[in-house]
Amino acid sequence: MEAATVQGHCAPGFEGVRRAFERNFREHREIGAAVAVTWDGEPVVDLWGGHADAAGSRAWERDTLVNVYSTSKGMTALCAHLLVDRGELDLDAPVSRYWPEFAGAGKEAIPVRWLLCHRAGLLAPREPLAEGRAYDWEYVCDALAHTPPWWEPGTAQGYHATTFGYLVGEVVRRITGQSLGAFLRSEITGPLGADLFIGTPAEEHPRCADMVGQLGDALLAERFPDAPHPPVRAIEEHPLAPVTLALRYVPIGDVNSAAYRSAEIPAGNAHASARGLAAVYAALAGGRLVGPATLEALRSSQSRPEEPDLTLGALVPEGTATAFRWGLGYMLNDRGQAGPNPRAFGHGGAGGSYAFADPENGLSYAYTMNRFGGGTSGEDPRSRALVAAVYEALTEVRGRA
């Protein structure tokens, strides 16, 4: 494979971001990637490079789309907050007000809020999905409606890796009459001209990059090196984090197929460009999508001090802190993965993608790639290096003013 060629532009003062992006190809085995940053609503970084496939037969272009896994959740949550801002959704109302069937199996009192902050105890149905049914929206939602929670709702938080999208998406669908992906496109990404889809139309598939690497292997094998079939057995034995059941929603190894790209799995299969993600977070940070009260609420902590996450805590290496603070559908910036502002917020995806808003600094950021790396919450070293370079540049540019 030929050496990666980086294309695009950086505004004066942001050249260090280009250098960090180029280093990712040399030092972190980047295959294809893009990074985009806006400042005060203007694009200051728009870079891309490398290849859209493992063989190096397709160049990564300015309009290349790629599966961003759980970075999708930030977009799914935004759909709910748009309805909150319009007065059509009450986060403290029971889910069953909008989705009556959800009240079954002891879930009648669960408020919508707990769906967004991973406190509903619904990581997965009690029984695995039938083969090939992850793409059947009504089948999955019916299974969840009839599933008892895995723990007493509200008493603990545990990352709903895949069910988050079905749960929040079904509430949106019941209110609007549109699927989550259709609502996102008609109300947010379409009007913004943002290149981002949940349920990617077939005519857009030719510009989708192929993911290189497996979700299960990369995310879990390092944590459980000695267990037989470590991504499966060791986590199934964890009493409060049946992560493998949740992962069975996504057909691992099938993420480059037309069926997967066309499906709506709102917790994990948005296909986006970095520029598209950054555009949405720029609009959110700039007050163009929701009002100030909604913006403050969505990034308010819904976690208790030092509260562990039952799911993410099962995945981190021994000795790593398991405390994690959730906003309403967003990861809060406790680990500095979104730079120095503790009030920045966003969401990362398995493999390394990450996007966030920093309203106080008027900044939005997005990084997308196709080589599956580590982590799901913005801690991938490739993104960390880019974020550090962004804030170094911001400090320097402000110092010159």
Q: What is residue 217's predicted lDDT score, i.e. its pLDDT?
A: 44
Give me the CATH topology for the region 6-400: Beta-lactamase (3.40.710)
Q: What is residue 390's predicted lDDT score, i.e. its pLDDT?
A: 98
Kindly state the DSSP code that residue 2 receives in the 8-state scheme.
Answer: P
Name every residue whose Cβ is closer than 8 Å to that of residue 22 and which is 6 or more positions away in sequence. Answer: 6, 49
Name every residue whose Cβ is closer than 8 Å to that of residue 262 and which is 6 or more positions away in sequence. Answer: 199, 200, 201, 202, 205
CA dihedral 38, 296, 79, 107 (to 10 degrees): 150
Element (H, E) at 45: strand 42-50
| Strand arrangement, sheet containing 42-50 | 6-10, 42-50, 32-39, 363-369, 354-358, 345-348, 331-332
Residue 173 has phi, psi (to 5 degrees) of -65, -40
How many Cα neighbours within 13 Å face the side chain of 320?
Answer: 14
Kindly state the DSSP code that residue 103 receives in the 8-state scheme.
Answer: G
Tens of each residue's pLDDT in the chain, 401 residues: 456 789 999 999 999 999 999 999 999 999 999 999 999 999 999 999 999 999 999 999 999 999 999 999 999 999 999 999 999 999 999 999 999 999 999 999 999 999 999 999 998 887 777 777 778 899 999 999 999 998 899 999 988 988 999 999 999 999 999 999 999 999 999 999 999 999 999 999 999 999 998 665 444 444 444 433 333 333 344 443 344 444 444 444 488 999 889 999 999 999 999 999 999 999 999 999 999 999 999 999 999 988 888 777 655 555 555 678 999 999 999 889 999 999 999 999 989 999 999 999 999 999 999 999 877 788 899 999 999 999 999 999 998 86
315 neighbors 220 (Cβ within 8 angstroms): yes
**Can you give the residue ranges of every domain in the chain?**
6-400
